[in-house]
Structure 1
Amino acid sequence: MRRFTLPAMGMLAISALALTGCQAAEAGSASAPDAPITIATIPVSDDPTVENPVAALARLLEEETGRTVEITDVPDYLSVVEAIRSDHVDIGIMSGFPSALAVNTGEVDALLAWKGSGDPVSTCVVLDDSPIQSVEDFAGKTVAFADQASSSGYFMPVYMLHEAGLEQGKDYTSIFAGGHEGSFAALAQGQVDAACTAFVLTEMGAPMFPFADGEWRAVGESPSMDVMGTVLARQSLDDETRTLLQDALPKVFSAENAEALAGYSSFIGLDVEIAPKPSAFASFAKIAAVAGVKLEDLK
């Protein structure tokens, strides 16, 4: 596994997806059978005591495909999308909302999707001594969200607050912390009243979730999502590599690899749909609109 950092392609706003991306050369449109598989990811963990989930993903995928895997680090979810559609990398693994945004541009393909389980996706975390007891108590408070394209760290909790009668920018103040870890840090340092995140992270404990039992409480439950995650691919990806990845990735995301994949393990055990149609993401439109994003505008 080789790892690179892609220079900032711009800390992209969601509206950037509506723009025509730079037309990169069609690198790899006729890839050699043994060419490296390239993946764009955001940082997942820097804990030196455990294998980094990104490194584990690369190692497991190399074992399943017999191909070298190169990881390119980018700063946020939307930069993953831009790296794919600009032909800088082959694939990226995304949660439901950035996948819906990307697929709706018509410039990125979905190789496969993990269907939703019906379980709540998100919750908001407060410190145990917080006066906040219910979602309605977030009125007048400051709430940390992970990333403006995060399903569990933004779209779903914003919708949860909306369903409780609270509107972003009007009834509560929101900040973007640059990721789930940043949200937790802001809460621990007293910079915010709550940090909204994925349920699965609160269940993992350290290093993915930094609060010990008795230090925190969960307030609220968001609805479930029809699609929990997607593997997105550049449209110029050759058919041989597509088929190879569609066969290998469900094997990588198996129960025996759950501990090594850590934050990625939320997809394990979910039904997989190969090459889902754009209509699979139609249910995201209503929730996205609550956050001020209209999928139909992102063409």
Structure 2
Amino acid sequence: MSEASKKNILIPNSEFRIPNSEFSRRTLLLQLFLLTACGVRSLSSKRQGLVLGVVSYNAGEQTINRYAKFTRYLSEKIGVIVQLEPAFNENKALERIRNHAWSLAFAEPGLAAIAIDQHRYTPILSLQGIANLRSILVVRKDNPIVELKELQNQPLALGQPGSATGYFFPIYNLYGLTLAEIMLAPTPKTVLEWVATGKATAGALSKEELYLHSSYFSPTEFRILHTDPHEVPPGVVLVAPNVDKNLRQQIYQIMNGVPSILAQEAGYIPNSSAPDYGYMISVVKRVRAIFPDEYEHGATPLQLKPARLLDNISI
């Protein structure tokens, strides 16, 4: 037992005496054993680190650099090691969330809805979001399709399961259709690539992602076929259910008091309220009703030909 542990343990003077019998010696040894065990458990708990999870796509090194100062600051203030664990896509992030492997998660809306509703994560702060974020479906400009129902029996490119704009909202909007095939792209840029080359008739992403990546495919031009009318809420900072309640409160206080430059780099808003996820969760539940097995076991509907967007379970 360390000196620090000894200082935190009070032994009444009346009990701390030289034993004068075999019974007293055994009693004292038992007391010392129990005190030592408590000290070891205390030290072990203090040494247990936290894992901060984020989705980084292919920007692993950039993500590490972005969160380096913040994780160091949080680690110093809490007194435990805070490790950053980037996930290269939403599917991998879902696996970590299901296992409660991420103590903290800086989660975009789709992942956040699943984590809150299905895996008991608690939202504590809002991430910096894009104002009026919308999910869209795009086609090539020379494609004659003008209505969603015309995508019947057509191949569709989606983002990874967990993406609000690339996966949940488009499936929700296409409910009732049978598609020739669903293809899951690793990034929004790949969604546009598949639409540009004709591999997919339409693709799902956000407006901002369309504007960011469309220039890479010039002279091919894209047209927005459908814009979801609902604004996608900003992402949130989540805390796992296996994080101690007192530690959770400590994390919340530290993150609210962090220097503004560190909060900006990490992409969250101190002293903010978590956004309303009611509608987002309802969208996720409907999509889960369409692909229950794929969601539960971490698989994807990539091989479904055709892909029928109809309920398989009641919600």
**TM-score, normalization: structure 1?**
0.62
Partners of 1:29 and 1:126 in 2: how far apart?
56
Question: How many residues of Structure 1 are paired with residues of Structure 2 in the alignment?
Answer: 246
Partners of 1:246 and 1:222 in 2: how far apart?
36
Tell me which residue corresponds to 1:229: 235
Tell me which residue corresponds to 1:145: 158
Moved more, 235-244 or 95-104: 235-244
Against the structure 1 CA distance between its residues 160 and 249, is the aligned structure 2 distance closer, same or farther, given a 3 Å change threshold? farther
Partners of 1:213 and 1:94 in 2: how far apart?
35
Paired residue secondary structure (1:70): strand
- Residue among 53, 66, 69 paired with 1:57: 66
Paired residue secondary structure (2:70): helix
Tell me which residue corresponds to 1:183: 191
The residue correspondences of 1:1-299 to structure 2 (distance < 5 A) are: 30-32=45-47, 37-46=50-59, 52=62, 54-62=63-71, 65=74, 67=76, 70-74=83-87, 76-84=89-97, 86-113=99-126, 119-162=132-175, 167-168=176-177, 170=178, 173-205=181-213, 210-212=216-218, 215-225=221-231, 227-238=233-244, 239-240=246-247, 243-244=250-251, 248=255, 272-274=272-274, 280-293=276-289
Alpha-carbon shift at residue 66 of structure 1 (Å): 6.0
Alpha-carbon shift at residue 75 of structure 1 (Å): 5.1
Against the structure 1 CA distance between its residues 61 and 116, is the aligned structure 2 distance closer, same or farther, given a 3 Å change threshold? closer
CA contact (8 A) 1:120 1:223 kept: no
Alpha-carbon shift at residue 244 of structure 1 (Å): 3.5
Query: Quick check: which has more Rg, 1 or 2?
Result: 2
Tell me which residue corresponds to 1:11: none
Unaligned stretches of 5+ in structure 1? 1-27
Alpha-carbon shift at residue 194 of structure 1 (Å): 1.7
Alpha-carbon shift at residue 228 of structure 1 (Å): 2.8
Partners of 2:182 and 2:241 in 1: how far apart?
35
Deviations, residues 234-282 of structure 1 (Å, cap 9, x unaligned) = 223244465445653897998x95xx78xxx7x789x9315x7xxx433
**TM-score, normalization: structure 2?**
0.60
Partners of 1:252 and 1:199 in 2: how far apart?
32
Partners of 2:218 and 2:255 in 1: how far apart?
36
The structure where helix makes up a greater share of residues is 2
Partners of 1:114 and 1:212 in 2: how far apart?
33
Moved more, 77-86 or 238-247: 238-247
Partners of 1:203 and 1:235 in 2: how far apart?
38
Partners of 1:245 and 1:94 in 2: how far apart?
16
Tell me which residue corresponds to 2:298: none
CA RMSD of aligned residues (A): 4.3
Partners of 1:29 and 1:223 in 2: how far apart?
50
Alpha-carbon shift at residue 150 of structure 1 (Å): 1.6
Partners of 2:221 and 2:156 in 1: how far apart?
18
Partners of 1:56 and 1:242 in 2: how far apart?
26
CA contact (8 A) 1:77 1:94 kept: no
Alpha-carbon shift at residue 222 of structure 1 (Å): 0.8
Deviations, residues 21-74 of structure 1 (Å, cap 9, x unaligned) = xxxxxxx99445xx7652223342449xxx73x234313524753657533243
Alpha-carbon shift at residue 189 of structure 1 (Å): 3.6
Partners of 1:174 and 1:251 in 2: how far apart?
43
Where relative contact order (Cα < 8 A, 6+ residues apart) is larger, the structure is: 1
Partners of 1:136 and 1:161 in 2: how far apart?
8
Partners of 1:284 and 1:216 in 2: how far apart?
27
